[in-house]
Amino acid sequence: MGVKRKVLLVAVSAVAAVVMGAGPGVGAGVGAGVGTAGVRAAVVPEADLAHHGHVSLWSEQLTVRFESENHGPSALADATVRLTFSVAVAAGQSLPANCLWGGDRMVLCRTGQLRAGGRSPETALDLKATGRPVEAVVQIDTAWNGGASDSNPENHRHRVLAPATGDPYAF
């Protein structure tokens, strides 16, 4: 076998091993295993993040309580939950220590570390809306999940309509 043909065969074997995810030893020879370790190192962890809680509105008092849960299989060092409100909220209100304002109608909250199968402590937002809205829509979503992939994003995206009845509307 000619030298050019042998080099081409080894190169094709190495590329096939990378593309197909084959383990070490496939395409043995010059360059064997090159790139396969890089493919493994580039694998993104998977974590199914979900948010559950309730929203209520009474007069101008808008309350949101929620927990985040990681269904796994990987742990998360941290995640950020974004809450967006359809109604204006009064400026200058204090938030829980794990939350901050992301705009005049948006709050961002850290979950903290979430092991696989773990749940965050409850976060409680008690906000004063401006005026006396008859209803509010609150959107809850994951703004950041530590770079993990989530094959089930529907359980962390919610849109809740809360009429001003004082009743808790679950998500």
Written as tens digits, the pLDDT of the chain (171 aa) is 454 434 333 333 333 333 334 333 334 444 444 455 555 556 899 999 999 999 999 999 999 999 999 999 999 999 999 999 999 999 999 999 999 999 999 999 999 999 999 999 999 999 999 999 999 999 999 999 999 999 999 999 999 999 999 999 999
- Backbone φ, ψ for residue 5 (5° rounding): -65, -40
pTM of the predicted structure, to 2 decimals: 0.75
Q: How many CB atoms lie within 10 A of CB 130?
A: 12
Provide the 8-state DSSP code for 155.
G
Is residue 141 within 8 Å of residue 106, measured between CB atoms? no
R_g of the chain computed on alpha carbons: 24
